[in-house]
Structure 1
Amino acid sequence: MTKRAWWLVVLNILLPGSAQVLAGSRGLGRFGLRASVAFLLLLAAAGVMYKVNPELVLSVFTNSIGLWALAAVLVFYSLLWVTLTFDTLRLSRLVRIRPNARPHIAGLATVVMVALAGTSGYGAYVATTASGVLSTMFITAPSEPPADGRYNILVMGGDSGSDRAGMRPDSMSVVSIDADTGQAVIIGLPRDLDLIPFPEDSPLHAAYPDGYGYEDRCDVDACMLNSIYTEVDQKSPEMYPDAVAEGSEPGIEGMRDAARGITGLTIQYYALIDMQGFSDLIDALGGVDINVAERLPIGGRFEDLSDVEGWVEAGQQHMDGFTALWYGRSRHTTDDYDRMARQRVLQQAILTQFTPANVLTKFQGIAAAGQQVVKTDIPQGALGYFTNLAGKTKALPMATVELVPDNGVDPTDPDYDYIRGLIAAALVPAAE
């Protein structure tokens, strides 16, 4: 009877339902076997399909309906494994086996049951939570086609700290991604760029035909790139009457038109990152590792260090969200171009830590933070494609074009033909 009990428990682990077929509960056993075989076939089919067409599989798992279906399947199998395990222990007749074997047999069955049912239950939780997060963060709309074989995404870091009135984009870049290879080029846009040209189809072109800030013409205090968001958002939102209905904002659309005019690229999508929420995301990830080039104050403004709360020391540092935010924001003894460089380092460090294992083990905190961090008009239906493309991007070196004086760009008197030439030169080798 002891050997029989061991065999039943092991068979239940290897092929749930087989123990019932052998020991008498044949109706339940046949149901369990069919379900177990179906589960294995589903896994095999998903694996083969991912090898053949990963985009299709990722599309299913980034779609609300697909995620809820996955959750239902996982809950079903979780309940099935619990039922079959308890029935296997009943069929094992523990009271008739050797007393010293009972805890080992019952313990093995219980541990495996908890592992399988717990894993599938947690998977169902992740699937349903992810469905809610994705529905909140991404819009329902048709996908945009690539332009000249590339997707160009305007990425803005909006700083809405307690010492600031409203949000303004202090960090701006265009991420240009080859639609086939995933090769990416980050184009850094300094916030103090002047004389911004707008495409002729932009409503801002009619208001500023000679460029934003030409002869100091603008409707806010400072006529530079990141002022466009504030001006359109607060002074002339009627320029973009359909922005909100299309998952955007008038200020964002003004910035998109500015990025189009500066780079000469079609900007299909945008992503606005709330830097305060970014701090929560870093905390949810467990912090971020950065090699700090020079000592930076936490707090303080330029030479005024009266309100400094601490320091980010030089060298390898493991930072929490608050410290990382100040690493990207600090201005003491540095300029905007140094900040741009530090923000790129911070972005790269976070992307490196966004591994599947890290996300799954800290999913609850990341999901909660994610809903507060990103606003974008990337449609949910395109997530499968972009997730697959992001995997390619992460495996390749990423080029950077910073529009700064070190690259021959004078932000106060920029030569936009020269700027577009720099960008074109960076994109051509990436596309080959």
Structure 2
Amino acid sequence: MNADRARGAGAVRSPSTATFLSFLWPGLGQWYLGRNRLALVYGLPVVAVALAALWQLNGGLADLAIQLFAPSFSLTVLVLIVLLGVWRLISMADAFTAAPLRTKSSRRPTTLFAVLALLAVIGHAAAGFYAWSFYQAGSKMFVAGLGGDFNSVAPGASGSGTSGDLVAKPGATPATADSRINILLTGVDSSVGRNHALNDTIIVASVDPKSRHVVMLSFPRDIAGFPLWNGGTFSGKINSLMTYAGLHKDQFPDGPLPSLIKELGYLLGVPIHYYAAVDLDGFRTLIDKVGGIDINNPRAIDDPDYGGWTDGRPLGFSLSAGVHHLDGQSALAYARSRKGNGDNDFTRARRQQQLLVALARKLTDPSMLTRLPDLLAAASQTVRTNFPADRLSEMLSLSRQVKDDAIQKYVLGPPYALRSTDATTYSLKLDLAKLSALSIKLFGADSRYAANAPASPSKSP
């Protein structure tokens, strides 16, 4: 007698037990009933998927979550979850109907089957909801190209990239996985009351995977009268360049964002490969979703004129020196306030860098996994980037290895930019000689300025 019949020749097997076992793992109910070949048919595909899942989990839940931001990966996971759910129900139904009844008058436990089937549907639906949330967030956050349309960095916008073989070619992929990665981080203020978006935050972050060093350079928004990569001089302020480019497409045919990226790369002397744009109102929401962030305020802030509150708080913002836990409203005030005693655009830029580092640390905390649905919803409405989603896990691993003392922060105010003496309104004029020297110091041979540098340029950090 073969194995398939041996177990069936014994005591009558319970339909309830068979159904429950197939609920736990497809194929177990068939094995319990002595139908070993069918047990393999139902069980082996699930084993293969389980092994693949364990391999993906090798780096931890945080790494898996990062991979799910890639729409192709999250969609594959979603399809597998649905197929496994259907497969589980088929296995349960087969075990339920194949189990012999004790007597002709016995009834099958339909209530138990219905309850277990409902639990299976709920479980797979919950898992599918997470995968779908990642797919939606990833599809909105990660856009192709650089976007040629006006305000293309605003949440909900997308576009196709444009190109031009220029010195600082935006969107160019780093030569190798170990090559320096340069990313534009920009905060867009498109709040009610503005008839156009302004770049209130312009930071270029440069990551060196080999040395595990990060450089953050903030461009004060009042920098004006700077040379353009395509010739001539831009007389306006740098935070209005995108707006101007969008309104003068004859001068900037690439569009607002590519023009800003090309210009920043031209001034810094290195190509900017990717961008990440954050809506400032969404930034506030995102910080609330992570439960707030902790910062160490280096000096007291007292800005009686700050009026950026959206929750009815009275005019003014003050914060003593020291460690503070900030909610979204307070964090946004910390990032935007610049009119307090002793404060200016430079101190504000330093605080913005500090907030970005603190938020990045919070987002990579494994405890944030429990907040995923809310975080994904907030991020999908707040962030737009052309950074490859399939490289996020690599960046997460790198961020864990970067120590705080390996992050160099610069604000391109004095001595790199000084108050202009020939302007009717307050503005800053770049000292291109000092900026080029800083570029060579930070980026070495990667800087285009290095080709014209003296024989003994400054050493890289």
- TM-score, with normalisation over the residues of structure 2? 0.68
Listed one character per residue, the Cα deviations across residues 302-356 of structure 1 (whole Å, up to 9, x for unaligned) are 9xxx961664455433322122111111122211111111111111111011137
Percent identity of equivalent pairs: 22
1:348 maps to 357
1:330 maps to 337
Counterpart residue type for residue 369 of structure 1: A
User: What root-mean-square deviation, in Å, do the aligned CA atoms of Structure 1 and Structure 2 show?
Assistant: 4.4
Displacement after TM superposition at 1:422 (Å):
1.7
Alpha carbons 1:129, 1:367 under 8 Å: kept = yes
SS at match of 1:410: strand
1:67 maps to 74
* CA–CA separation in structure 1 for the residues paired with 2:356 and 2:218: 12
Displacement after TM superposition at 1:150 (Å):
2.1
Counterpart residue type for residue 203 of structure 2: S
1:188-207 aligned at under 5 Å gives the runs 188-199=218-229, 202=230, 205-206=231-232
Q: Which has the higher contact order (CA 8 A, sep 6+)?
A: 1
1:422 maps to 438
2:207 maps to 177
* CA–CA separation in structure 1 for the residues paired with 2:459 and 2:190: 35
User: Which of 174, 178, 193 is the equivalent residue of 1:146?
Assistant: 174
Deviates more, 1:83-92 or 1:308-317: 83-92
* CA–CA separation in structure 2 for the residues paired with 1:298 and 1:401: 24
Alpha carbons 1:196, 1:258 under 8 Å: kept = no
User: Which of 393, 398, 404 is the equivalent residue of 2:399?
Assistant: 393
**Bigger helix fraction:** 1
1:95-244 aligned at under 5 Å gives the runs 120-141=124-145, 144-146=172-174, 149-178=179-208, 183-199=213-229, 202=230, 205-206=231-232, 208=233, 212=234, 218=235, 223-234=236-247, 236-243=248-255
Count of residues in correspondence between the two structures: 385
Counterpart residue type for residue 174 of structure 1: V
2:5 maps to none
* CA–CA separation in structure 2 for the residues paired with 1:360 and 1:430: 41
Listed one character per residue, the Cα deviations across residues 67-125 of structure 1 (whole Å, up to 9, x for unaligned) are 222111112334545666788899999x9xxxxxxxxxx9xx97xx95x8766543322
Displacement after TM superposition at 1:418 (Å):
1.6
Q: Which runs of 5+ in 2 are unaligned?
A: 1-10, 103-111, 146-160, 162-170, 308-312, 420-427, 445-457
Alpha carbons 2:216, 2:353 under 8 Å: kept = no
- TM-score, with normalisation over the residues of structure 1? 0.72
Listed one character per residue, the Cα deviations across residues 157-191 of structure 1 (whole Å, up to 9, x for unaligned) are 12233354422112111111225565421112122
SS at match of 1:237: coil
Q: Which runs of 5+ in 1 are unaligned?
A: 96-105, 213-217, 244-249
Alpha carbons 2:440, 2:460 under 8 Å: kept = no
Counterpart residue type for residue 331 of structure 2: A
Deviates more, 1:266-275 or 1:176-185: 176-185
* CA–CA separation in structure 1 for the residues paired with 2:26 and 2:370: 27
User: Which of 41, 48, 52 is the equivalent residue of 2:51?
Assistant: 41
SS at match of 2:221: coil
Alpha carbons 1:158, 1:275 under 8 Å: kept = yes
Cα distance change on mapping 1:128 and 1:430 into 2, 3 Å = farther
User: Which of 354, 362, 371 is the equivalent residue of 2:371?
Assistant: 362
Alpha carbons 1:183, 1:430 under 8 Å: kept = no
Listed one character per residue, the Cα deviations across residues 10-56 of structure 1 (whole Å, up to 9, x for unaligned) are 976885523431235657633332233222332355467x79xxx9x
